[in-house]
């Protein structure tokens, strides 16, 4: 497999730099390598997991060799876009080897400083990446994009993936900024667009929420003069399940958002007017500890508590 794949990848050395910019070309490469994988599985009677892992490692090695030949500065173009062939292969074959998947994600981030090509299609839709960033998604639909995001979040969580960010800090895969969206995190974009289905996925995996994101929701709701859209309310409800309380002073709440309190959009126990419920505070503490240990949401399943409480801690209900 290694030799066949190496011979195939060597052809790109003499091809134009933008060879793999076109999604159709990347798909043809995915199909060709998938055919090689199928042939090796049948010919060698091997476990598919082993063959797929070897193929992904070969692609990562090819990228690294070309980067090394350029002083360890990625040349981007075809030598970088081959990594997105590996992304599609990982998803199509549902590779279970977390170490290999994380190595692929780390190579992407080391060159781009973002995972936007994995997230944008899932958040905005399948055609959006072309208009936002000038490239087309490798997945067939927004639904497949979203399933792929969950697949990679799962592996990043299981492997405890954290990437370097500003000032020497480290952030998790799910919190990595999307460059073409003002460096906003996926969860902040879901909040700004009012996408409760995507927001629920990100929050279940422990995505970080900052005070600015909460205030974005409150300000948007105040624009609707007591006729509140369901999707924005749903986003606020999900956020309020994931944080102990809104970090705003009573004065700010009464002065700027008291209509939301009167209309019961903001519960008194979640905005500092009344003490939060012990059950809710406990949920937040448990989620914080699980998140610190990269155990959200799957670690909730192994807790020795009733299933109804597992759903509560997993913010599936309030």
Question: CA 179 to CA 120: how far, in whole Å?
Answer: 10
Do 77 and 166 share a domain, yes or no? yes
* 190 assigned to some structural domain: no
272 and 128 in a common domain: no
Structural domain includes residue 196: no
Nearest to 106 by CA among 66, 58, 160, 166: 160
- The first and second tokens of residue 251, run together, are 């004065």
In a shared domain, residues 175 and 283: no
Number of compact structural domains in the chain = 2
- The whole-number pLDDT of residue 136 equals 84
144 and 277 together in one domain: no
Q: Could you tell me where the DSSP H helices lie in the chain? A: 2-10, 23-44, 48-68, 77-93, 98-112, 116-124, 128-133, 142-158, 186-193, 196-204, 211-222, 230-242, 250-256, 258-262, 278-292, 307-313
Q: Are 289 and 225 contained in the same domain?
A: yes
> CB neighbours of 71 closer than 8 A, spacing ≥ 6?
none
Distance CA 41, CA 35 (A): 10
Range of the domain at 217: 203-313
Residues 243 and 130 in one domain: no
- Residue 17 pLDDT: 85
- Looking at the fold, whether 250 and 306 belong to one and the same domain comes out as yes
The radius of gyration of the chain's CA atoms, rounded to the nearest angstrom, is 22
One domain for residues 212 and 177: no
Tens of each residue's pLDDT in the chain, 318 residues: 777 788 888 888 888 888 998 889 999 999 999 999 999 898 888 899 999 999 999 999 999 999 999 898 888 888 999 999 999 999 999 999 999 999 999 999 999 999 999 999 999 888 777 777 778 889 989 899 999 999 999 999 999 999 998 877 899 999 999 988 889 999 999 999 999 999 999 999 999 998 788 999 999 999 998 899 999 999 999 999 999 999 888 899 999 999 999 999 999 999 888 999 999 999 999 999 999 999 999 999 999 999 999 999 999 998
User: Do 281 and 142 lie in a common domain?
Assistant: no
């Amino acid at each position: 497999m290694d030799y066949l794949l190496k011979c195939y990848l060597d052809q790109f050395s003499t091809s134009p730099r933008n060879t793999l910019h076109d999604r159709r070309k990347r798909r043809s490469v995915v199909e060709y390598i998938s055919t090689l994988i199928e042939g090796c599985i049948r010919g060698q009677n091997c476990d598919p997991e082993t063959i797929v892992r070897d193929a992904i490692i070969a692609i990562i090695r090819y990228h690294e060799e070309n980067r090394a030949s350029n002083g360890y500065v990625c040349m981007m173009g075809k030598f970088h876009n081959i990594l997105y062939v590996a992304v599609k292969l990982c998803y199509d074959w549902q590779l279970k080897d977390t170490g290999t998947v994380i190595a692929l994600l780390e190579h992407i981030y080391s060159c781009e400083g973002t995972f936007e090509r994995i997230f944008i299609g899932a958040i905005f839709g399948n055609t959006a990446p072309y208009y936002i960033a000038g490239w087309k998604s490798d997945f067939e639909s927004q639904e497949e994009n979203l399933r792929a995001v969950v697949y990679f979040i799962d592996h990043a969580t299981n492997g405890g993936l954290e990437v370097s960010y500003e000032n020497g800090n480290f952030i998790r895969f799910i919190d990595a900024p999307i460059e073409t969206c003002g460096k906003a995190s996926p969860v902040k974009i879901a909040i700004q667009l009012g996408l409760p289905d995507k927001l629920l996925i990100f929050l279940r995996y422990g995505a970080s929420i900052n005070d600015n994101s909460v205030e974005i929701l409150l300000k948007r709701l105040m624009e609707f003069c007591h006729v509140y859209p369901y999707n924005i309310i749903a986003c606020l409800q999900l956020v309020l399940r994931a944080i102990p309380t809104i970090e705003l002073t009573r004065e700010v709440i009464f002065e700027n958002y008291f209509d939301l309190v009167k209309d019961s959009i903001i519960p008194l126990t979640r905005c500092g007017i009344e003490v939060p419920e012990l059950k809710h505070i406990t949920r937040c503490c448990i989620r914080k500890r699980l998140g610190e240990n990269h155990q959200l949401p799957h670690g909730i399943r192994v807790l020795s508590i009733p299933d109804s409480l597992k759903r509560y801690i997993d913010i599936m209900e309030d």
